[in-house]
Every structure is written in C-alpha cells, then in structure tokens.
Chains A and B, each alone.
Chain A
Amino acid sequence: MAPAAPKSGDAIFASVDRVNAELFTLTYGAIVRQLLTDLEEVEEVNKQLDQMGYNMGVRLVDEFLAKSNVTRCVDFRETTEVIAKVGFKMFLGVTASVTNWDSEGTTCSLILEDNPLVDFVELPDNCQGLHYCNILSGVVRGALEMVSMKTEVAWLRDMLRGDDVFELQVKLLKQVPEEYPYKDDE
C-alpha cells in the first residue's frame, strides 16, 4: 500500500478530537499558579515549565508523525515549516509563521500571533521575569530531540510583556545521527 500523502494542518485538526480551548487555557493557568506557589522563584518556574514541555514534546512527536504522514524533512528549514504549519495547527489550532533565518540556516524564529495559552492572562508586577508560555519551548525542544536534532529554544518577544507577537527562536545545535540499538554483528 502506498504511503498516504502528507495532510495539511487544517485537515488533521478537523479529524482529531477537540476540546474547548478555554478548558486548556484555564488548566494551564492552574499549572502555572501551582508552580509559582510551590517554587516561588520565577526562574525555577521557567525551568520547570520547560521540563514539563520537554516531557510532553517527547511523546507528542510520536502522535504528530503518526497522524500527519509527513515525509522525512530534507533540512532544518523544512522541519521548522512543518512544525509551524502542521504541528502547531494540529495541537493548538493556530498556525505559526517562520521568519528571521540566519545566513547558515540553523536559526530561525517561530512567530505566533494567536496563542490559546494566554487568553485572559496578565502578568503581575512581581512575575515580570516569567516566561508564561515556556512549556511551548520545551515541547519544541523535546519533539526535535526525538527526531535527532539538538536545539536551543528561547523567547525573543512575549505578548504578555508588551510585545505584539510571540517570537520563539529555535537554534539547531547539531544533528545527532540515529544510534542503532543493536550491534551489527550480533
């Protein structure tokens, strides 16, 4: 049987089960609030959110590959395009755009104008160092690591801090060749 052609983000999103975005938003808010109460330090919370996102991304990428039927991406450019157009759409229902490529093609920015995580959210004065959406950076990092790309992900612009969009910078550090679990001669 020939493999199915890759589906567009909209088509996949229409075919998966969906829930109200507000439940998602409010649950995420409850998580951030719990972390702030437990950890108290904003930097610690950022790290914990990133770790949680990493755990999610590691498992999320399996579902992504299974449902989206994308073919192997030729280079990092294509990878980030696929993440922005298909990945984000499939899980969050919004598309991102990819811009700001550097000369070597290893660093780019994902721009999110619409982010369901931050509906109804305002950062209080004592939490100005908080990257509220840090879970997203963890998800991207975790997902890419599972497909053999070590990346560094950081927030450049944050709407909760007064910018006009969310800008996530993704930097490819290195491609890790897949290791075979068994030795060839055994």
Chain B
Amino acid sequence: MIGVGKIKQYSNVLDRPISKGKQEVSLSAFAFLFSELVQYNQTQVDNIGELERRLEDAGYAVGARVLELLCHREKGNRRETRLLGILSFIHSTVWKVLFGKVADSLEKGTEHEDEYMISEKELLVNRFISIPKDMGAFNCGAFVAGIVRGVLYNAGFPAVVTAHFVPVDGQQRPRTTILIKFAEEVLQREARLG
C-alpha cells in the first residue's frame, strides 16, 4: 500500500531505489570497523600470508559489489572492454567514490608488459594502522588490493593484485603501491583488439 508509514517498505530489496551515494559516516567509525576486521582475522590464522589472503578475500567481495553499483550509477550500465579503460575507471571513479579522491598515480610497469601500478601516498585504510616489526612486510592494503582484484575479475580482466610499501626519500611513511599483474588471456585479448 502506498503511503503507509514514513518509509515505503519494499518486499524485495531489489525493488528499492539505489541511494545516490552521498551518505557519509565518520572516518573513525570505518577505522574502528576495519581494525576489528583485522583483529578478528588475526585470531583465525597462523601466519602473515594467510592473514593477507583473508583480507584480500574480504576486499574481493567489496570490489565485486562496487563494480556493479558504480557501473549502474556512474556509467549508465556501459562496461569497459579495454585495459586502459578499466584501469582508469578504478584509478578515478572507484577511488573517488570509496576514498573521496582519485588515486595518486597510475603507472605501467617497466620490466613486464603485464604489470601496472596504482600508487597512493597514504591509503585510507592504513591511516590509523601501524605494523609491528615482527610482522615484516605485511600490509593492510591487502584489503584494497582485494577490492581492485574484485573489480577487475568481475569486469573480465583477471589479475593478481598485491599491495606493497615503497619507501620514498624525504617521507617518513612509505608510499603504498597496488601492483596489478594481468593474466595472459587479458593481454592476448588486448592485443587482438588492437
């Protein structure tokens, strides 16, 4: 029935209108939530590799959904078919929506044809996190790497995505680089498309 109660209740969640994406929560709420995610996963694993994998899997789920949402809302249901297209979609649109700004840089790897890098001076998720010395190279940016992998995989560009700290001269905290290594089939398809 229309008009009953303050909010119209849709029986099916798919009938509800999609929000405009302008709603915000405080950064600290997100930071607390993310820290709980990391802490919970720490209790479930024995080593750092496992922990990174679990964070990445969590991010993957987010990425898959973000792609669907943004394709519908921002791009009018057009999908990217070219490599550079999907990379710039992630670098600008996805980053802008999720983190409030476009990523700092997008580079092509010099050593390998299939590697691309998205860099960020300070990842939002890492802002309140400090890594203890005994955890070595662990990077909570694995969550963001998972998001990127989720977006790429579901857009038809399977890739291996990892997050790395890159020390920068003159800066106290290292820069974070998301390294994307595309699967062979993606490059072949790209070459065929010319």
A-side residues, CB < 8 A to B, are 13, 16-24, 26-31, 33-35, 38, 48, 52, 55-56, 59-60, 63, 90-93, 113, 116, 119-122, 135, 164
Are B25 and A93 interface neighbours, CB within 8 A? yes
A55 touches B39 (CB 8 A): yes
Instruction: Write 16 A-B pairs (CB below 8 A) sorted by A numbering.
Output: A19-B98, A19-B99, A22-B66, A22-B97, A23-B30, A26-B62, A27-B62, A28-B33, A29-B61, A30-B62, A33-B58, A52-B40, A56-B33, A60-B32, A92-B26, A113-B7
Inter-chain CA distance A13–B24, complex, in Å, is 10
Interface residues on B, range: 35 or more
| Chain A min CB distance to B66 (Å) | 7
Complex contacts, A90 vs chain B, CB 8 Å: 26
With a cutoff of 8 Å between Cβ atoms, the chain A residues found around residue B58 in the complex are: 27, 30-31, 33-34
Q: Mark B29-44, 1 if CB is under 8 A from A, else 0.
A: 1101110110111001
Q: How far, in whole Å, are A28 and B34 apart by their CA atoms in the complex?
A: 9
- Complex contact A22–B26 (CB within 8 A): no
Does B194 belong to the interface (CB within 8 Å)?
no
| Distance from A61 Cβ to chain B, minimum over Cβ atoms (Å) | 11
Most central of B12, B30, B65 by chain A CB within 10 Å:
B30
Considering the chains assembled together, what is the distance between the CA atoms of A116 and B19 in angstroms?
11
Q: Is B28 an interface residue (CB 8 A)?
A: yes
B141 in contact (CB, < 8 A)? no
- Counting from the closest, the 3 A-B pairs by CB-CB distance are A17-B27, A122-B13, A18-B24
B59 near A30: Cβ-Cβ < 8 Å? yes
Are B97 and A18 touching (Cβ within 8 A)? Answer: no
Residues on B lying within 8 angstroms of A by beta carbon are 5-7, 9, 12-13, 19, 21, 23-30, 32-34, 36-37, 39-41, 44, 54, 57-59, 61-62, 65-66, 69, 97-100, 124
Residues of chain B contacted by A121 (CB below 8 angstroms): 13
Closest chain-B Cβ to A24's Cβ sits at a distance in Å of: 5
In contact, B97 and A20 (Cβ under 8 angstroms): yes
Residues in A with CB closer than 8 Å to B44 are 38
Q: Are B36 and A52 in contact (CB under 8 A)?
A: yes
A21-B24, A21-B25 known; A56 vs B36 contact (CB < 8 Å): yes
Tell me whether A164 and B5 are in contact in the complex, defined as CB-CB below 8 angstroms, given that A27-B62, A30-B61 are known contacts.
yes
Q: Which residues of B contact A33 (CB under 8 A)?
A: 58, 61
Tell me the smallest distance from the CB of B106 to a CB of chain A, in Å.
20
Residue from B9, B32, B100 within 8 A of A20 (CB atoms): B100
Task: Let me know if B28 and A63 touch, CB within 8 A.
Answer: yes
Is the beta-carbon distance between A20 and B21 smaller than 8 angstroms? yes
CA distance A29 to B33 in the complex (A): 11
Do A93 and B62 contact each other (CB < 8 Å), given the known contacts A30-B37, A31-B40, A164-B7?
Answer: no
Contact of B65 among A19, A35, A93, A120 (CB under 8 A): A120
Nearest-neighbour CB distance to chain B for A91, whole angstroms, equals 4
Instruction: State whether A23 touches B98 (Cβ < 8 A).
Output: yes
Assembly CA distance A94 to B65 (angstroms): 24
